[in-house]
Structure formats: structure tokens, C-alpha cells
Amino acid sequence: MGKLSIPILGFLLLFFAAAAGDTKKYLKYKDPKQPLGVRIKDLMSRMTLQEKIGQMVQVERSVATPDVMKKYFIGSVLSGGGSVPPKASAETWVKTVNDIQKGALSTRLGIPMIYGIDAVHGHNNVYKATIFPHNVGLGVTRDPQLIKRIGEATALEVRATGIPYVFAPCIAVCVDPRWGRCYESYSEDSRIVQALTEIIPGLQGDLPANSKKGVPFVAPGKTKVAACAKHYVGDGGTTRGINENNTVISLNGLLNIHMPAYFNAITKGVATVMVSYSSWNGKKMHANRDLVTGFLKNKMKFRGIVISDWQGIDRITSPPHANYSYSVEAGVSAGIDMVMVPYNFTEFIDDLTYQEHRELAREAVRKSLVLLKNGESADEPLLPLPKKAPKILVAGSHADNLGYQCGGWTITWQGLGGNDLTSGTTILSGISTAVDPSTEIIYSESPNADFVKANNFSYAIVVVGEPPYAEMAGDNLNLTIPEPGLSTITNVCGSVKCVVVIVSGRPLVIEPYLSRIDALVAAWLPGTEGQGVADVIFGDYGFTGKLPRTWFKTVDQLPMNVGDDHYDPLFPFGFGLTTEPAKSS
């Protein structure tokens, strides 16, 4: 489940006085005389999961009907670029915003929504508003006080239309003018960008003398707006200026060039920070917990709202086949507090709601795995695998097949193959997420031995097993691993260190191949949360599972259960090797 951040509520409570009418019954959280922390605690204690998730959602104006606001407890609305009531007067804008606000205030708790817009060089979406020079021209002035006055003027014009939040300033350091957004950057010199963060007190108001570092501040009244430092971090440093692409730079370089203005913005009480679409050294910023939570929140002590960019969650497209529910988890886990969805809010809400359930399923997958072999001897274990390796092979019919890992009784009676049957994460996707971004993953469903030998893999993970079945369709007298699974095991293992993961509804014939397999894992039928397999294979968690049923040597022994006179299993009932979680690298 997404963790509702205190900042959102603190932020919104600031607007309660402005937005909420009189309330009959006294509600502490609505009392502006109460300390902010008391009001937040009171409000949080009253909120349901759905109300909390709703507060994390920002939708576009075109879908923000009062009914939607009420039904989904939506916390914020935005005008995307150009999304404006046609040639609207200030009065029309105020009415537009207020009509949406009425929907938000009609909810059980009456939490007001906050409306945001790109006022990046004046109130630039609005007919007849003053349009100031874009940031590149303002960088020429090197005049922080001029920029602050522009912020003050912009805030007045924005509030005149009933809007209290702007997605500005962009504090990108554009290092390559081939970038299409270079004019939104004040300068290539981060010191100029730092100086011109003075627009933030222009927009939000000067910090009171006793304000705490990192705590957002927007002056009360109707002349200031919440600001948004964007796009965190490194948006202006992408390779060849390709928009939303990859910023390849050392941490030192990132901190010296692209980060300094965020220190200034936070010191000046910026209310929100927007995450960049770009990646840093191959890791999407929208999924970068180290930089969003670890650095921005924990190291720089930012206590405002971290907001995604427009469909920023949807653009988390790695690992391969990452589906939307994976992206929701990755974004919220990274530390994004509010998601600029902006249209498919029901899917986002469902995924975040069931995230909790998916986490539960993932835990169950981890605990259901049984480690049957781990290297040739106890002092030379293969698992857990290193996350950092030059090149690894993932192979097998069941590595990238959600239907196979779910088995029978899934969507249909007999179950299905493929990845379209429902949403979830395949074992391959889980592996791709788990490994270091520098590790190259080659996926091949049924590679031949020459391919394996020619590629000098660090190690291989072979995922094979049974196709889905139910009832009589699963009756099987030989219990062999169906082809191409067996060929994949023989082609891969023996040429490279291999971990074989068996996805099956029962023990299968494996004894004849065991000597060439370095590590063997029984995964049974793990379901939609395939990343639970990677969690344990790569040591985020240890193996703990014990066989709930005997693993036979040959089918001629069957039936054979613990306690039988002829009991001579390959792996006995209750068997299972254990591993400790890997020390974090």
C-alpha cells in the first residue's frame, strides 16, 4: 500500500481554512488554531485506506468531475499544458476550480483538493495573463530580486484564477542545448540556477524567521501559491540532450551540477518537488528510491510533497515486460507521494490498493520456495547469486510466462499460457528488477549448447516445469519435465553455473540431471508475484522452505510417503536447505 506522506496532509490542511465552509460538529483537523501536527494526526486517524490513496492521486481537469472527486477522494487536479476553459476569464477559471472543489469538499472528511498548473513564465495557460521571458532569458539577468518579483506577480495572477499551486520553477541545469527543454533552464552554470531559486519565496512568500529547514512554507492568504522545484534530478544532463533519456554521470558529478539548486529550493521552503522522467545511469528517477527517499527526503530533509511527472509512473518500463502494477509499486516505493496519473486513476487506485495484497503474495512466494541443492558442497554454495555480474542468462519455458507460473484454475479452469491473462510479474521481470543496472541479462527460452558456450555467461537461471492443467488433465504417470524444459537444462547446465527453478504442481523426475545442476529450487506454482523468486535467489531474503511432500527418485517408487517401508526418496519430506539474506552490497 502506498504510504500517505504527512506532507500531503500538512499541505492540504493549509488550505482548509480557505476552502472549507463552517462545520457543524467540531473537528480538530479542521481547526486552524490547532498545531499542524495535531491536525494531521487527527485527520490521519480518521482516514480509510481508500481516502489515503485518493489523496495521492492527481487527475487532469478533463476527468475531474465533482462525482469523480467525491467517489475516489481525489487529492489534486491539474491543467495539463493547454488544458484550459477556452478564452476563460478569471471568473470562469475561479468557477471551474470551485466546481471541482465542491466535489472534494462533499466527501466524508471534506479534504480540499489542490489544483496545479504550469505557470512557468507567468500564468502562461491563461488568456491575457502576463507572459514573462522564459528561464533562459532570465538567466541572462543574473538578478535574483528581479526573478523574485516575477514570482510575486505570477503568484498574484495565478491566485486570481483560484489556483494555489504551480509546477515551477524548473531548476534544470541544461548542459546540452540540443535538449528541447533547454529554454526552461536558467543556465548551464548551477550557481546561476541556485541564485534564481529566489523565485520560490516570490511565489510562496518569505520564510518566517523560525521556520525549520526542509519544511514547506506557503504564506497564508490569497496572494501566494505553492511552488514545485523540477525535475528531480538531472533532467538537463541527458545524453545528447535527448528528452527524458539517460543522464550518465558520477554521483559526484550529479551532486555538483544538478543537485545544488535543490538544496537552495528546500532551504527556501519549496512545497513540492517533481521527479524527472530521465534516468540516472540507467535507473529511472521515478523508480529511484535511493535518490528520492534516501537522498531528497532522508539526507536533504525535504518534508514537502514529491510529485511524479505526467504519466511518469507509466514510463517506468524496465525491466522488460514491467506492467503497470509493477510500475505503481516501484514509483510509490521510491518515495513518490502524489502521482500525476492523470487519466487512468481507477487503475492506479486499484493497483495501489491491491499492492498490499500483492506484497502479501510476494511474501508467500518467498516462503514457498524450497532449496534442494546449493553447489557441490556446503562451503561452496552458489546461492544467493551476485546481483552484479557482467552477463547472465535467463532461460526456460517458464521464465517469462505469467500463465505458467500461475498454473490451473487461473482465469480459466485449465489455466493459460502467456503474459496477457492478468497483471502480475514474471520470474524474468523479477530477476531484471533485482540485478544491478550494470548487469546484462540475456533471455532465451530454449537456447542451444553452442549459444551458451559462445556467450561466456557469469551464470544461468533456468526456469522450466509443467504447463497449466486442472483435474484429469493433470493426471500423469511419468512426471517427466516436458520439453523443451529438459533440453534447456541439458543445453545450459554443464556449460555454465546454473540454477534450475522448477515450476510445477508436484515433484518431477529430476534425479538423472541433478549432477549437472549446480543449484535446484522448487518454486511450485507461485502465481502473479514472480518477483518473490528473485527476492530469495539474489539474497534479499533467505531460503526457509521445507518440502511438504516427498521428492521421489523414480516414478516406479510411487506411491511413496514418509514412513513407508520402501521409503528411499531423492529429497525426503521436510527437506530444504537454508540460506541467510545476502549482506547489502
**Contact status: 230 vs ligand GLC (CB under 6 A):** yes
Write down the least CB distance from residue 341 to ligand GLC, Å: 12
**Contact status: 80 vs ligand GLC (CB under 6 A):** yes
Q: In 3-state terms, what secondary structure has residue 503?
A: strand
Write down the least CB distance from residue 271 to ligand GLC, Å: 14
d(CA 462, CA 486): 10
Site string for ligand GLC, 408-447 (x = CB under 6 A): ----------------------------------------
Write down the least CB distance from residue 340 to ligand GLC, Å: 6
Q: Which of residues 91-150 bind ligand GLC (CB under 6 A)?
A: 118
Distances from the Cα of 331 to the Cα of 93, 225, 246, 298, angstroms: 32, 26, 18, 17
Write down the least CB distance from residue 352 to ligand GLC, Å: 21
**Contact status: 314 vs ligand GLC (CB under 6 A):** no
d(CA 269, CA 282): 30
Cell numbers linked to 239:
545524453
Residue with cell 550557481: 191
Distances from the Cα of 43 to the Cα of 32, 48, 169, 192, 338, angstroms: 13, 10, 31, 41, 18
Alpha helices by DSSP H, listed for 494-551, are 531-537
Write down the least CB distance from residue 286 to ligand GLC, Å: 12
Distances from the Cα of 204 to the Cα of 17, 150, 152, 403, 485, angstroms: 17, 12, 8, 52, 62
- Our CA angle for 63, 64, 65, nearest 5°, is 100
Write down the least CB distance from residue 183 to ligand GLC, Å: 13
> Is the Cβ of residue 80 or residue 542 nearer to ligand GLC in the bound state?
80
Of these, 179, 186, 295, 310, which contacts ligand GLC (CB under 6 A)? Answer: 310
Helices 324-334 and 427-434, packing angle to 10 deg = 30
> Is the Cβ of residue 170 or residue 508 nearer to ligand GLC in the bound state?
170
Of these, 38, 48, 65, 81, which contacts ligand GLC (CB under 6 A)? Answer: 81
d(CA 202, CA 94): 22
Cell numbers linked to 506:
508436484
Does the active-site annotation cover 475?
A: no
Of these, 51, 157, 309, 337, which contacts ligand GLC (CB under 6 A)? Answer: 309
DSSP run (H or E) holding 452? helix 449-454
Q: Sign of the CA dihedral 417, 419, 422, 426?
A: positive
DSSP run (H or E) holding 360? helix 345-368
Q: Which residues pair with 529 in a beta bridge?
A: 425
> Is the Cβ of residue 150 or residue 172 nearer to ligand GLC in the bound state?
172
Write down the least CB distance from residue 90 to ligand GLC, Å: 21
> Is the Cβ of residue 34 or residue 83 nearer to ligand GLC in the bound state?
83
DSSP label of 463: E
DSSP label of 515: G
Write down the least CB distance from residue 293 to ligand GLC, Å: 21
Site string for ligand GLC, 148-167 (x = CB under 6 A): -------------------x
> Is the Cβ of residue 80 or residue 241 nearer to ligand GLC in the bound state?
80
> Is the Cβ of residue 118 or residue 337 nearer to ligand GLC in the bound state?
118
Of 471, 483, 568, 580, the active-site residue reads 471
Does the active-site annotation cover 309?
A: yes
Write down the least CB distance from residue 168 to ligand GLC, Å: 8
| Cβ partners under 8 Å of residue 497, min gap 6 | 382, 458, 459, 460, 518
d(CA 351, CA 4): 15
Q: Which of residues 339-398 bind ligand GLC (CB under 6 A)?
A: none
> Is the Cβ of residue 165 or residue 326 nearer to ligand GLC in the bound state?
165
> Is the Cβ of residue 11 or residue 232 nearer to ligand GLC in the bound state?
232
> Is the Cβ of residue 291 or residue 517 nearer to ligand GLC in the bound state?
291
Is the distance from CB of 178 to CB of 232 less than 8 angstroms? no
Distances from the Cα of 388 to the Cα of 249, 277, 287, 357, angstroms: 19, 25, 19, 30
Write down the least CB distance from residue 75 to ligand GLC, Å: 16
**Which has the closest alpha carbon to 244: 291, 307, 181?**
181
Per rule CB under 6 A, count of chain residues that contact ligand GLC? 7
Of 309, 329, 337, 351, the active-site residue reads 309
- For 61-114, give the secondary structure using H, E and C: HHHCCHHHHHHHCCCEEEECCCCCCCCCCHHHHHHHHHHHHHHHHCCCCCCCCE
> Is the Cβ of residue 309 or residue 466 nearer to ligand GLC in the bound state?
309
Pairing of strands 498-503, 519-522: parallel
> Is the Cβ of residue 224 or residue 315 nearer to ligand GLC in the bound state?
315
d(CA 542, CA 367): 9
- Our CA angle for 12, 18, 22, nearest 5°, is 105
Write down the least CB distance from residue 310 to ligand GLC, Å: 4
**Which has the closest alpha carbon to 326: 440, 444, 426?**
426
Q: Which residues bind ligand GLC (CB under 6 A)?
A: 80-81, 118, 167, 230, 309-310
Instruction: Report the catalytic residues.
Output: 309, 471
